[in-house]
Structure 1
């Protein structure tokens, strides 16, 4: 199921399975390591590539959350409800 929300973006399943918070934490760790500059070139390139995938995943999770929030509606009697999210 997690792979479907990232369909077409080539996000590996192990990244797609991460929560937003876990992916963001990994991304922050990668950035800190890259900023220190103590990686070998190949490691830095791999870290950058993984960071780009983590960034895409985080952005997708944020868009998904935004769509859910936008679907919260106010009912005629003043009650708050939700409408099903259109995935298209």
Structure 2
């Protein structure tokens, strides 16, 4: 776990730390007080990731829609 404030973390850093928190909690070998602190940190990390994903989705939507809400400059994704 880092000491970096969650509000200053990149999406990738927050996800990495969230995965570490979950892994530590899943072991069940963490004292109660530490478990509570980890859970609180994990909740903050989750919220940060959700916020950053929502912001990214809004940016993509703004880029791919015109003023009328119609998709522009996009083509269907095709797989071979």
TM-score class, shorter: 0.7 to 0.9
> Any stretches of 5+ residues in structure 1 without a counterpart?
1-12, 81-88
User: Alpha carbon RMSD of aligned pairs, Å?
Assistant: 1.8
Pick the structure with more strand per residue. 1
- Note the 1:1-80 alignment, pairs <5 A: 14-73=5-64, 80=73
TM-score normalised to structure 1 length: 0.68
TM-score normalised to structure 2 length: 0.74
Provide the aligned length of Structure 1 versus Structure 2. Answer: 65
> Any stretches of 5+ residues in structure 2 without a counterpart?
67-71, 74-80
1:48-68: CA deviation from partner (whole Å, max 9, x where unpaired): 000000000000000000000
Work out which of the two has the higher radius of gyration on C-alpha atoms and give 1 or 2: 2
**Inter-partner Cα distance in structure 2 for 1:45 and 1:66:** 32
